[in-house]
Structure 1
Amino acid sequence: MKIEADVNTQALNIAPKAIGAASGDTIVRLADVRRAFGETPAIDGVSLSVERGEILGIIGRSGAGKSTLIRCLNGLESTDSGSIQVEGMEITALDERRLQPVRRRIGMIFQHFNLLSAKTVEDNIALPLKIAGERREERKKRVAELLELVGLSDKAKHYPAQLSGGQKQRVGIARALAAKPSLLLSDEATSALDPETTQSILALLKDINRQLGLTILLITHEMEVIKRVADRVIVLDRGRIVEEGPVWQVFANPKADTTKSLLQVLTPELPPVLSHRLNPVIGDHAVVKVQLSGDAARRPFLNELPGVTLLHGSMDTVQGEPVGTLFLSLPAHDKATLQKAVDYLTVHGTQVEVLGYVSGNA
């Protein structure tokens, strides 16, 4: 099922002046940021940057430091050391008064929506504008534009209790965009939603980013979310960055154990009916795992291997690049011929591993 979100680019103007000094194309820059609670480091020397128009995904298990990091970014949490710049302005030493204009440049959407139950949809969206002192006429105009943007023009007078989870999140997105931010922070924004609604929200975020150039920093524990919308991914573990890179490259060849673990739900595994038969030393056939990506996945190569059988696997497209895992059976009677086949696969694959051997037909 394909879900698309139409964005009215004229209705949503996101290009106000930056608040800080000129910072090129970098919206956010962190340098050696540290934050501990007692003896426990929540953020342990994190350095990263978010470029204008980029969707950066930050992923990690519970307790990895994601929430602390995002609170430091919007000034809700102080740092122990290090530098945080938003549009060229250093924010770590700013007091509450001087943080206010910075926060207006940062939109925020939350896992549990954080809508005011006693206010209507239009009043929830208008709240940041009211706090900023916008005139009533301007607020009404802006709210109407945002409701059209997120597809809820007919829900303006509804209250949050009358909305579905996906509709509530659309209100949250509209509210986050009300002040025309340069950066949108998404903190587990789809974790409370069903899979179909998650797709529609991610499609909306992707379209807003693509058509309007809005920079998005996406905090999540779901690799599926990263795969669908992010350009680049950073993997956090115990407050440290353990891996980062373009999404398709990280998916194709994960280095860190944390990344491999998070990818398990998306990566095919050898079926138990075969894995239970594996012998580490002997057998008629070798079972080989081959990971493919990029140009290597576009070229035919299996027809060059005599006696090869495709046992299991899958191919996907991430950021327009093919990424996949194949499980093959190769004749193992002649070790030299088997080694030649493995060497051939190594040339064509990102990573090749002989998992073991089976006797009889694989």
Structure 2
Amino acid sequence: MTRIASAETRSIPADGEPSPVPHAGHGAERAADVPVVQLDGVVRHFGGTAALDGISLSVRKGEVVGIIGRSGAGKSTLIRCLNGLERPDRGTIAIEGRDITGLSEAELQPLRRRIGMIFQHFNLLSAKTVAENVMLPLKIEGMPRAERRERAAELLDLVGLSAKADAYPSALSGGQKQRVGIARALAARPALLLSDEATSALDPETTASILALLKDINQRLGLTILLVTHEMEVVRGVADRVAVIDAGKIVEDGPVWSVFSAPKAATTRSLLGAIRPDLPPAIVAELAARGERVLGVDLVGPEAATLLAALSIELKAPVRLVHGGIDYIQGQSVGRFFITLPAGAALPQAIAFLTRHGAHVETTGHVPDHV
């Protein structure tokens, strides 16, 4: 049986010494209330450019939070500030309640053992075996060899690579290399796992398997995970929350299902364009030429599957679905539909009905002047 300790089993504060898990009571409740990550007003300039411009973000224990944005938005600078490789010009960064912004390099070293990192290009040592790569952080920490080997065996079992312990990275596929990277990142039992574009170099099938592994690790170990990515599919597949960063600012933050169903920021809508249904221009032109009235309808919840049928009953006329459908995100039904109304149907009546049922409605195509 695999024996993997959770993040609570062996808590290591910044001085590097193990400490017991708090006993039940007020002390334990206070410890649980402390965010694993807390950023307040973080600013980082490079020359005259603000890579981070007043970033504030809180991540609770056990959350999986996606940080998403275009290239150059500030994602890489943010992750380097979190592990102490960059120092902010202003603001504070706290890891498990400890402000790291004023720590010396020596003081940062034990704290970094509380932060695991997985990378886009794996960063494995080619001259070391899979097991030796996983054991490396523990060797640096000074753990005895027998304990290192036992821990590596546990982690390779966790990521499904026990049979590859004595193989070298050159013999592994991309997905297997990333699994080794994940095992290595977990070696020192971190409180926080940072994923820096960890699936960008992988094909879609392998990406799905890595995301499933990260979600399993999150659920089994209660590990807090921060995913830095430009791929909305990655966020949808594993994250609980998503924060959208643009020009060094967080422009949107919320549960994944909420942000995906009703994005507020223009940046979010643009990033979602590849996976969120939109009315193709050819259909827009065809409907406009026929003078048809088109409604874009967004709705979250069980009614997403039945609302169009209910609207037909309300209008006493058929409603035609021309594009869109229902997605399922975090257990929520998220509907996005484009519909046309039959000739003579009352547009205000349709919009009022849909709005009463919690839908967000936009009009496109031909809309009469008096509406």
TM-score, normalising length from structure 2? 0.89
Structure 2 distance, partners of 1:220, 1:296, is 32
* Greater Cα shift, 151-160 or 38-47: 151-160
Q: 1:310 aligns with which of 321, 324, 345?
A: 321
SS in 2 for 1:314: strand
Counterparts in 2 of 1:289 and 1:9: CA distance versus 1, 3 Å: farther
Counterparts in 2 of 1:18 and 1:295: CA distance versus 1, 3 Å: farther
Match of 2:269, as an amino acid?
K
Match of 2:365, as an amino acid?
G
Query: How many percent identity over aligned positions?
Result: 61
> 1:206 Cα shift?
0.1
The alignment yields a C-alpha RMSD, in angstroms, of: 1.8
Structure 2 distance, partners of 1:80, 1:23, is 29
Q: 1:178 aligns with which of 147, 164, 187?
A: 187
Structure 2 distance, partners of 1:29, 1:11, is 27
Q: 1:246 aligns with which of 224, 247, 255?
A: 255
Structure 1 distance, partners of 2:332, 2:231, is 20
TM-score, normalising length from structure 1? 0.92
1:327 aligns with 2:342: no
Q: How many residues align?
A: 347
Structure 1 unaligned blocks of 5 or more: 1-7
Structure 2 unaligned blocks of 5 or more: 15-29
1:17 aligns with 2:28: no
Deviations 1:260-313 (A, max 9, x none): 00001111122444212243xx85531111111125425542332323111121
SS in 2 for 1:75: coil
> 1:24 Cα shift?
2.3
Deviations 1:177-209 (A, max 9, x none): 000001100000000000000000000000010
SS in 1 for 2:175: helix
The residue number in structure 1 matching 2:300 is 293
1:86 aligns with 2:86: no
> 1:343 Cα shift?
1.9
1:103 aligns with 2:112: yes
The residue number in structure 1 matching 2:17 is none
> 1:58 Cα shift?
0.5
Structure 1 distance, partners of 2:2, 2:341, is 54
Structure 2 distance, partners of 1:55, 1:348, is 31
Q: Where in structure 1 do 4 or more consecutive aligned residues deviate above 3 Å?
A: 20-23
Q: 2:205 aligns with which of 196, 207, 210?
A: 196
Structure of higher RCO (CA pairs closer than 8 Å, 6+ residues apart): 1
Structure 1 distance, partners of 2:166, 2:2, is 24
CA contact under 8 A between 1:19 and 1:89: conserved in structure 2?
no
1:126 aligns with 2:135: yes
Structure 1 distance, partners of 2:255, 2:157, is 33
Structure 2 distance, partners of 1:83, 1:125, is 32
1:341 aligns with 2:334: no
Structure 2 distance, partners of 1:235, 1:296, is 28
